[in-house]
Amino acid sequence: MNGYVLLAAAIICEIFATSMMKASAGFTKIIPSILFVVVMGASFYALSQALIQIPLSIAYAIWSGLGTALTSLVALFVWKESMNIYTFAGMVFIIIGVVLLNLKGAGH
């Protein structure tokens, strides 16, 4: 399977798992707690498989960067958390960094 497809799956799983961690209310709710553990495990598995085809420096930067930025959007829209200009600027910088890392020939 394509490394970037696996990386996208890892990111999606990580975002969902992090949201389940919030829903678990400090691991006091069983279903979200179980979903967190299972889906975060799936995220790490997909990331490990992506690393077979994508350099670690690129894959981890994309996984953590996009995971952070997209989780912030989930927090804003699903959990109704606030976002200020600094949070927004940080997400823009993360996305710029991911684009720069993926420019033709970067790390490949």
Please state, in angstroms and rounded to a whole number, the distance separating the CA atoms of residues 108 and 67: 22
pLDDT in the model for residue 61: 86
pLDDT in the model for residue 36: 99
Please state, in angstroms and rounded to a whole number, the distance separating the CA atoms of residues 54 and 99: 15
Kindly report, residue by residue over 45-98, the tens digit of the pLDDT: 999 999 999 999 899 989 988 999 899 999 999 999 999 999 899 889 988 888
pLDDT in the model for residue 105: 54
Residue 74 is encoded by which pair of tokens? 């989930």
Query: Of all residues in the chain, what percent carry a pLDDT higher than 70?
Result: 95
